[in-house]
Structure 1
Amino acid sequence: MIREQLYDGHKRKIGDVRISVTDRCNFRCQYCMPAEGLPWLDREDLLSYEEIARLVGLLASMGVHDVRLTGGEPLARRELWRLVELLSADENVHDLSLTTNGYLLERQVEQLVKAGLRRVNVSLDSLAADRFFQLTRRNSLQQVLDGLAAAERHPELRPIKVNAVALKDFTEDEVVRFAEFARKHPYEVRFIEFMPLDADRTWSRDRVLPNAEVRRLIHAAYPLKDLGRDRHGTSRRWEFADGQGSIGFISPVSEPFCGDCNRIRITAEGNLRTCLFSMTETDLRGPMRAGASDDELERIIRAAVWEKELKHDVNDEGFVQPLRTMSQIGG
């Protein structure tokens, strides 16, 4: 069944949903989670794979054709390939992707590809083992690199994107290494500005390394050519002037792209969020488990999405950081 296209109250066509399958993570990245971790959701509080598939099917019938699975660390959820198989069978799902820290990717990637996964983003904030440990509090750089190499062996998984959070007084030493990494491998390295979604609540503007500075450092070593940004894309892409690879920049703090945002998010326990920085959520799990029909769920979703924020307020005086961290929202 095809339903009317989903729009928000600012006449933006909603076409992308990020779905968290778990709040658990095996890393403790400083910009996301405290060293001791966070209280995890009970298993019965998580949406089942069948419940996720039902919501995705409903959203896809409303024109939300792009689906990304996130966490926490999504590969920490048992047999994630079963969910991928359910979602890839829906003809209204046009793009099915995964964001992962890569630690478990090598052992799972073959099953995921067979199940229908078509794109993967791997979070990787340093290419030096000691600095990787400093940021993630885990000695796991090689496992992540092995996961990337395993993904590379599957031509169905393209493009492979590598996401690095840009932190002032840390990432400056990494940018040229990452540029060389992007030139040697078929990966699109993307730098993401540090956002106020950390559990330790240590975010401040002076900890943000603007992507303009990252570009300047890379351009000095390897000249870049601007490829622009897709209308609904988060990343502004640049290619190396000699054609050997490309680099992306996601700049939500210094260059917000809210006006073109076509995304919504569903948390691991089934709450709909219309922005990373939303202060409110809409419960979908409760009505589903109470027996709501698809038509009733559609009305709930449309009402919530109609209230989608015009923009985030990170750059405004009086900004209040959401109570949830990135790992609890879904990256």
Structure 2
Amino acid sequence: MAQPAAAASRAAPPAVIDGSAPTLHPEGVAWDPSRKSFLVGSVRHGTVSIVKTDGSTRTLANEPRIVFTIGVHVDARRNRVLAAYADYGVGTRSTPETVQKQAGLAIFDLETGRTKHLVDLAMGPGPHVANDFAIDRAGNAYVTDSTSDKIYRVDTRGRASVLVQSPQLASPIGDGMNGIVWHPDGYLLAVRYDAGVLLRIPLSRPHRFEEVRLDWPLVGGGLVLRPDGSLLVVSNALGQRLDGAGSVLRTRDGWRSATTVGESAPWADAVPTTAAVSPYGTYVASGRLDLLVAGTPTDRFTLRRW
């Protein structure tokens, strides 16, 4: 007997979604409650795509001015999907004029995928690579730049400013600030990829940021703040080794210090990058960026439940 449509729409996704799309190579992933599906970006094509539970994909947003999309988040309250965009030189639209020079935040209509705003974040001398971002309750976005010493703020009207600038945010090898989350108590948590340092950045006084005391470094770093208050950190060392790991951290002092309370290492899929919280659990993305960087792109990617 066929399953009723209403019941089918409530069915949980499988524990592992084996995705397939022509050389998509997603880095970022988000849960879309309006479709009960995942959305992913594309380091190869600069798109945002819908991923169904059977792993099939459909393009939602395809803005030709964007080289590639990294972090992706859904703001369902405002009918928006947002994506950080940049160019590492491996996209089909990469040019000498855009490699590590294009950096910004794209804002699309969640229902149609139509471009609402492209917010330029290549502020000051380069290079620039907008990486990930967090959205607060009011809809403001906070965007990391992996190759500069800045974190940006973009308001709901698309106006950009520098939230905080410091040498401590910069990496000498160009793998600086990466994952970032907004905490409802009024601060950001952000990780520096190369050093494994987690920073606590108060929004009222962002220049007064401090390093969170950890039991070991979080090298790599996609961050997800889960509904139970724990922080999931997805780690990899792209270009150094293929294995990755997931760690769960908890705090007792408002994220001035944190302790690892769970770990999965090595992760089942090579080079995991970040994760998304869904009503059915937290799903970790592996878009096989290692193969793309090596010049052997693939059509396969994985979303795996933690």
TM > 0.5: no
Q: Which has the higher contact order (CA 8 A, sep 6+)?
A: 1
- TM-score range with shorter-chain normalisation? 0.3 to 0.5
Q: Give the TM-score normalised by the residue count of structure 2.
A: 0.33
Q: Give the number of the structure whose residues are more often helix, by fraction.
A: 1
Larger Rg: 1 or 2? 1
Q: Give the TM-score normalised by the residue count of structure 1.
A: 0.31
